[in-house]
Amino acid sequence: MSVKILAVGDVCGEPGMEFLEKRLREFKREREIDFIVVNGENANVVGITPRQADAIFRAGADVITLGNHTWTRTELRPYLDERRKILRPANFGPQCPGRGIAVYNTKFGDVCVLNLMGRFTLDTNTDNPFVIADGYMEEIKEKIILVDFHAEGSSEKRAMGFLLDGKASAVWGTHTHVQTSDACVLPKGTGYITDLGMTGPINSVLGIDPEQSIGKFMGDPPRRYESAGGKCSMEGCIFEIDPETGRCLGVESVRLI
């Protein structure tokens, strides 16, 4: 018997939150999903609040992963220590609140989820995610291992996928908000996609009002990001995994409108 893991792309602003809350549980029932990981990095457009994290859990997420905006909302810091089901990148300094890896008990066995962040163009003071990932793979005993790699460069994400091929059950990229067309099972049995996409307004620039994004590139003074309006979608990927071996049997990118 295989299990179905749903990974959901970055939830963007209130439009993305509302769409997720309305549609995720129904989609879970329809597709018989066993476990859900949602990237909540942009639930507050930039960052996420404890209230929004609670709402994502109520919507059906089993685990929330984060990224480069983890520290934007200071009120999230104690929440990261209190809740085991929300992860920040494991390659942040060890003195930072929260955790980047955890094991979760399920009816089909233990599931290990690892959250990492890339370094290419993100200008963050983090440890090398490749060294961290490789080290963790030596220690993890669970069969099902899921990795959210929050990174900018497609080459960095692809390299991580091949590094972990045959070690992790599934590796997916987040952060760039545009779903890629390379969902596949890598040669040694790891499910992979370079970027899940996002959950938020379709007619937007990464969830943001297009006019504001155009203005930024035209040289307008900086201002707080504003979510776009209109129709939304939820993008992500379903990984079918053999719980006995941890190998991925199939991968399907999804876009729910």
**Residue range 48-93, pLDDT digits in tens:** 999 999 999 999 999 999 999 999 999 999 999 999 999 999 999 9
HEC secondary structure over the chain: CCEEEEEECEECHHHHHHHHHHHHHHHHHHHCCCEEEEECCCCCCCCCCHHHHHHHHHHCCCEEECCCCCCCCCCHHHHHHHCCCEECCCCCCCCCCCCCEEEEEECCEEEEEEEEECCCCCCCCCCCHHHHHHHHHHHCCCCEEEEEEECCCHHHHHHHHHHCECCECEEEEECCCCCCCCCEECCCCCEEECCCCEEEECCCECCECHHHHHHHHHCCCCCCCCECCCCEEEEEEEEEECCCCCCEEEEEEEEEC
Exposed/middle/buried for 187, CB within 10 Å: 0-12, 13-18, 19+? exposed
Catalytic residue among 69, 150, 175, 177: 69
What residue segments make up the domains of the chain, in order of their start?
3-201+235-256
pTM of the model: 0.97
The pLDDT tens digits of the residues spanning 103-153 come to: 999 999 999 999 999 999 886 789 999 999 999 999 999 999 999 999 999
Please indicate whether residue 150 is annotated as part of the active site: no
Task: For the domain made up of 3-201+235-256, give the CATH fold.
Answer: Purple Acid Phosphatase; chain A, domain 2 (3.60.21)
- Whether the per-residue pLDDT at 231 is higher than 80: the answer is yes
Alpha carbons 179 and 199: distance in angstroms, whole number: 10
